[in-house]
Structure 1
Amino acid sequence: MASVSLPDMHGIFVLILMVCALILFTRERIALETSSLAILTILLVGFEVYPYYVEGERLHAIEFFKGFGHEALIAVCALMIVGQGLVRTGALEPMGRFLAKAWNVSPSLSLLLTLLISAVFSAFVNNVPIVVLLLPILISIGHRTGKSPSGMLMPMGFATLIGGMSTTIGTSTNLLVVSVANDVGNIHFGMFDFVVPAVIAGGVAILFLWLVAPHILPKRETPLGDFSPRIFEAHLHVEEGGFAEGKTFSDVREKSGNKLQVLEILRDDDKIVRPLPDATLRAGDRLAVRDTPENLKDFEEALGMSLYRDDDSPIDEDNPLRAEGQQIAEVVVTQGSSLQGAVLSDIRFADRYQLVILALHRPGHKTQVLQKDIGNMILRTGDVLLVQGTQEKLAELKKSGHVLVLDATSDLPRTSRAPIATVIMLGVVAAAAFGLMPIAISAVCGILLMLISRCMTWRDAAQALNTRVILIVVASLALGSALLQTGGADFMARLFLAVSAGSSPPFILAGLMLVMAILTNIVSNNAAAVIGTPIAINIAHQLGLPAEPFILAVLFGANLSFVTPMAYKTNLLVMSAGGYEFSDFVRVGLPLAVLLWAVFSFLLPQMYGF
């Protein structure tokens, strides 16, 4: 291996900081936005305290703040906000309804259709709202047909990632790679310049997800899908000579272990008595209670009472408990949700939405059921709440768009402004596709139109923004700029070529893509893309080859976010909703990533003639 001279002290500092960033980005205990801000701050302070000069001119640390105004970041944020308008108006509803009906005709072909539609839409729309739309539909289909949804959810989520590879606006990763390539090497990519290799490789991947993935995925139960501790209202009758006769309500509660929750006490003459601690119970009193069937039967036996339905029919095999008009739904706390980081008792969830919380599931933790401390837990992204309430209340919660409701019993959100939101989104894409204006500008215009047409509010726009995405992009852009300015990118390129000395250009390109694929599944895909792009351009220059295929190697490699659930935010959503294990992503994601890597490694050299 040929010797490669080290860069100067500033270059070494940036390289060490890059390694620290990659390590910090893998630490779950440290918020990704905190790690990003720490890296950015250290970089700024380092270059401010120890000035660096490029060709005699000082590189001011303030230059690294340019990421906040970078075209790529503006485009990413603007597209997230415009996508929020589609979600709020229910503009994607027709697609959901069409797919739901198709599953009744042919499940196998419907899965293929779901994968294709998911991929196509994800080429132009952020894949998060698409996943959010399809998750409840697929879970409902699984429950209705008696089949585990696990064979559908992960393939659908991966299909949206595959579709996002095909255009410059498909993912934030694509936008960053294209923007950095333009900044560093003055290399411009049109919206559909790499759609051909993406479609060919994507077609192979879709076939894998359709024909192979459902068969190698183990059957998983959705976190709360088979766990339905429904709440029922019933009457406990105080029997003559029974334990409760003549006792105070406080005594009866104590006998039940202080678990008995009484709504009201009804006397024979339909008089309502408040369940105060010193209220004395009489024979014939009816205690209106609300609890699970198991708890109600325990109360009946422990207190010597008789359990009746609210129509005073005795509860037995012929007259079971009933909950007319009540429905069970699973509510997922998503990124940007009003529940994220909230404490249920503080936001008064039950009073606000008129829904009873039955259980809480947190990936990797035991499901907690009807425990008082649920109300004191801080909710995280991916938490699943099992709630019960009327169809109307569940519909209101779903239409609010603040959470992901995993059921299909109430209508999908849709307003009269859905067509307007659709036209605005099509206009944003068309303006950029035909070269009328950059995507950053057309997307900002789309935000204004969404607000003017009242497709969304400023609050909706604010909730669409993700501080994690913003800070990781800014920190990555700052690191990428510092690598380029100090010669760190050139050093990394020379080191990569030295390691692969004697290898053919196609082999070097495949190796670069493999490194990006590994990084994107361990750290942020955006960080891998921004850092890898200038290195790719330097490799191409030193080989005397066109830079475009090496840039695309970075772009496609950084999009192979299939192997770990933390590699992409939709992976986490799918993991929570489908009850998947980490190993499930490796089982399907690893062969999928290897398959796409092999296809791209063959296609790119062929298309660019080397």
Structure 2
Amino acid sequence: MSLFGIPLDAAVVFLLIAVVLILFISEVFPNDVTAIGLIVVLAALGPSLGVTTADALSGFSNTATLTIVAMYMLSAGIQQTGIVDRLGLYLASIADGDGKRALVATVCSVGPIAGIINNTPVVAVYVPMISELADRVNVSPSKLLLPLSYAAILGGTLTLVGTSTNILASDLAGQLIDGRDGIGVFEFTIVGIVILFVGISYLLTVGWKLTPPRVPAAFDLIEEFSLQDHIQLVYVREESPIVGATIDEIESLAECNVSILQLRQGQEVFPAAQTDRPIEASNRLTVHGSPADVAAFVSAYMLRELAQSTVTEETFETGDENMLVKGVLLENSPYIGMKIAETQLQEFYTTTVLAVKRDGVLYKTDLAEVTLKEGDLLLLQTTTEAIDYFLEKATIFLVDDSAYDRFFEEDLSEVMPLSSKTPLAVGILLSVIIVAAVGLVPIVIAALGGVFAMLITGCLSPTDAYESVSWNVIFLLAGVIPLGIAMEETGGAAVLATAIVTAEAVVPVVLLLFVFYILTGLLANVITPVATVVLMIPVAVDAAVRIGVNEFTMLLVVMFASATSFMTPVGYQTNLMVYGPGGYQFSDFIRVGAPLQIILAVVTTISIILLWGV
């Protein structure tokens, strides 16, 4: 039985893929939640699709999934040694006050590192450092942060362990190509070096010119979030009815939509969330609200606006106890989908959200009702204790880190001391790579062995190991891997491959590979690279068999195209990490990333053909 010439079971899979793509793009549900639902649907439809329950659950036991889990943990072990921080800071010092040298130091250091350590934690270390460095060399952080993300993506193409897509491609190569057990750790490194060289050359020249300075250099955070009119200092008159009241009592009675952020008594400053001191005459209050609401608040309580007193970032810096910081909500944050009032950040963590930036839109009022989304940039009034919690639990990715500020005034070894276990952790990681490279054991065993070694030697604690894994990515894999199996079992991959065979009759093979690279890259920019690899590699290999093209060549085209997605902030986790801090617009990723994607499509396709033929 067929539908428009397509086997009915294959048509069902295509319909399922279409629904999944729509859900991935629209993000009605988080992608990992969609993936869990996909597992359930595949298991339910299994008998009609030739997919067993074991197949539907196979994503969890897949060697690629287990390898990716292990690599997350190994990367965490290396990160905790402090060696990445030290290396990044050392290379940043080469900038010596020059913006272009800062760019060179950034992209030339992060690229090679990302070849052996998962690039997401590498970028997490670099973002606050680069933000501080940009301030020191008087260049817009926007000019450095996008190249940082792109360099990390480029570095991921250097080795098999550089990115999750490479590991997935290796697993699929072993399944789909006769005579192959997978891909060697350094088997495609020559192509990766070419890609990294071309990509860095682009970032240092054309990319530098195309990257817009969205956030002005050395910008005060109050100015950056345009809060000059929304945060004011007010003076408490003697006749004011709030004299003798506490801040909590005022806010519970106030009819105006105003928040009190600080109580200033003489030279002493008390964060509102941390004090129950009664307000006295001649005190000053730092308040947050729209100009109209602040004016109403002042009038209602017989206060006086101190118009001549400008509120800046320094206004909130009261020693180590209180400060302003920027934070980004990444896809694993528990606050996504919650209204700010529901997060209870102020109640539990003495943290106040002062503004939210999203896709170029700035929210400054009625913040309690703002529903948080992935990629939101938050301006927070918070404490060092809360910052430590956010860093430890990864609930909010903080852009600011005072350690990098101290680096420029103090000795590097004192600011960023290395762990005593640094040589051991580095030795374990190198051993994993060497053992896997020479083929002594499969990479999944080598990686799990490395995790075991780090755990028993104390380089990594079990808690840190589990918390280092991006479980949303693992569940995404667990859902799309059985979808790939369903495509194979129902002949869906063969149907798509037939269409490619038809195109091959009128298009040269080299051009066909180039077009396939572009289409795969576009898909990766929309539905994530890991999902793209799983869905496209079976089609590519099947098409290669039908038109007589080297199967491994086609597989590598898909692998590299999926691993290099530059054109959207959601196409790669590192792009999302710099999206808010750089003040970028969605179009900036197309403006800077599209030319790079096209250049690499040509360079990579030619390199693969020269090395593996067609």
TM-score by structure 1 length? 0.81
Matched with 2:157 is 165
Q: Distance in 2 between matches of 1:16 and 1:292?
A: 50
Conservation of the 8 A alpha-carbon contact between 1:90 and 1:418: no
Q: Which residue of 2 aligns with 1:554?
A: 558
Partner of residue 270, structure 1: none
- Structure 2 CA distance for partners of 1:127 and 1:255, relative to 1, 3 Å: closer
The CA deviation string for residues 163-198 of structure 1, in whole angstroms up to 9 with x for no partner, is 111211111111111111101214232011111122
**Matched AA of 1:76:** I
Asked whether the equivalents of residues 253 and 259 of structure 1 are also in contact (C-alpha less than 8 Å), the reply is no
The offset of 1:92, in angstroms, is 1.8
Conserved in 2, the CA contact under 8 Å of 1:162 and 1:202?
Answer: yes
Partner of 2:610: 606
Change (3 A) 1:120 1:287: same
SS of the counterpart of 2:57? helix
Residue aligning to 1:206: 200
Could you say if the C-alpha distance between residues 483 and 298 of structure 1 is closer, same or farther in structure 2, counting changes exceeding 3 Å?
A: closer
Measure, in 1, the Cα distance between the counterparts of 2:296 and 2:31: 47
8 Å Cα contact 1:517/1:558 also seen in 2: yes
Change (3 A) 1:91 1:367: farther
Paired with 2:97 and 2:172, the residues of 1 have a C-alpha distance of 47
Shift of 1:555: 0.7
1:107 Cα deviation after fit: 3.1
Matched, 1:227 2:225: yes
**Quick one: distance in 2 between partners of 1:501 and 1:262?**
69
Distance 1:347 1:459, change over 3 A: farther
Deviates more, 1:288-297 or 1:432-441: 288-297
Residue 460 in 1 paired to residue 459 in 2? no
Aligned residues with identical type, % of pairs = 25
Question: Could you list the per-position Cα deviations for residues 208-251 of structure 1 after superposition, in whole angstroms to 9, with x for gaps in the alignment?
Answer: 11111121122212895723869999995644xx4659999989
- The answer as to whether partners of 1:89 and 1:413 remain within 8 angstroms in 2 is no
* TM-score, normalization by structure 2: 0.81
Contact 1:86–1:418, Cα closer than 8 Å, also in 2: no
Whether the 8 Å contact between 1:353 and 1:397 is mirrored in structure 2 is: no
Counterpart selection for 1:477 from 476, 481, 486: 481
Taking the aligned partners of 2:87 and 2:594, their CA distance within structure 1 comes to 30
Distance 1:263 1:106 in 2: 38
The CA deviation at 1:122 is 1.1
State the distance in 2 between where 1:434 and 1:426 align: 12
Residue 13 of structure 1 and its aligned partner are, at CA, apart by 2.7
CA distance, structure 1, for counterparts of residue 243 and residue 585 of structure 2: 54
In the aligned structure 1, how far is the partner of 2:264 from the partner of 2:96?
48
Describe the SS at the equivalent of 1:381: coil
Q: Deviations over 1:10-48 (max 9, x none)?
A: 233333333333333222223222332333333322232
Q: 1:16 to 1:301 in 2, by over 3 A?
A: closer
Greater displacement, 137-146 / 398-407: 398-407
> 1:322 deviation in Å?
8.2
Measure the CA separation in 2 of the matches of 1:321 and 1:530.
Answer: 51
Distance 2:317 2:295 in 1: 16
Return closer, same or farther for 1:262/1:549 CA change in 2, 3 Å cut-off.
closer
Alignment of 1:69-218 (within 5 A): 69-104=61-96, 106-186=98-178, 187=180, 188-218=182-212
Q: Which runs of 5+ in 1 are unaligned?
A: 53-58, 268-274, 309-313
* Contact 2:39 2:479 (C-alpha < 8 Å) held by counterparts: yes
- 1:423-434 aligned at under 5 Å gives the runs 423-434=427-438
* 8 Å CA contact retained: 1:6, 1:491: no
Q: Which runs of 5+ in 2 are unaligned?
A: 267-274, 405-414
| 1:331 aligned partner, one-letter code | G
Deviations, residues 461-484 of structure 1 (Å, cap 9, x unaligned): 333333432233223221222222
Q: Provide the residue aligned with 1:361 in structure 2.
A: 357
More deviation, 112-121/432-441: 432-441
Q: Distance in 2 between matches of 1:495 and 1:305?
A: 74
Change (3 A) 1:192 1:335: same
Structure 1 residue identity aligned to 2:555: I
- Aligned equivalent of 2:326, options 324, 330, 333: 330
Equivalent residue for 1:40? 39
Number of residue pairs the alignment of both structures matches:
577
- Aligned residue in 2 for 1:55: none
Tell me how far apart the structure 1 counterparts of residues 251 and 579 of structure 2 sit (CA, whole Å): 44
- 1:304 CA drift (Å): 5.7
Cα distance change on mapping 1:346 and 1:483 into 2, 3 Å: closer
What corresponds to 2:408 in structure 1?
Answer: none
Give CA deviations for 1:447-501 in whole Å, capped at 9, x if unaligned.
Answer: 3334334444444333333343223322322122222233322232222011231
Secondary structure, aligned partner of 1:169: helix
Task: Give the Cα–Cα distance (whole angstroms) in 2 for the partners of residues 229 and 452 of structure 1.
Answer: 50
Asked if 2 retains the 8 angstrom alpha-carbon contact of 1:232 and 1:321, the reply is no
Tell whether the 8 Å contact from 1:529 to 1:555 is kept in structure 2 after alignment: yes
What is the match of residue 56 of structure 1? none
Distance change in 2, residues 1:266/1:364 (3 Å): closer
Root-mean-square deviation (CA, aligned residues, Å) is 4.2
Displacement, 1:302?
A: 7.1
1:517, distance to aligned residue in structure 2 (A)? 1.4
Distance in 1, Cα, partners of 2:462 & 2:323:
32
Give the deviation of 1:403 after TM superposition.
Answer: 3.6
1:495–1:323 Cα change, 3 Å: closer
CA drift of 1:323 comes to: 5.0
- Contact 1:235 1:286 (C-alpha < 8 Å) held by counterparts: no
Q: Of 400, 407, 410, which aligns to 2:400?
A: 407
Tell me which structure has the larger Cα radius of gyration. 1
Distance verdict in 2 for CA 1:597–1:302, change over 3 Å:
same
**Which deviates further from its counterpart, 573-582 or 137-146?**
137-146
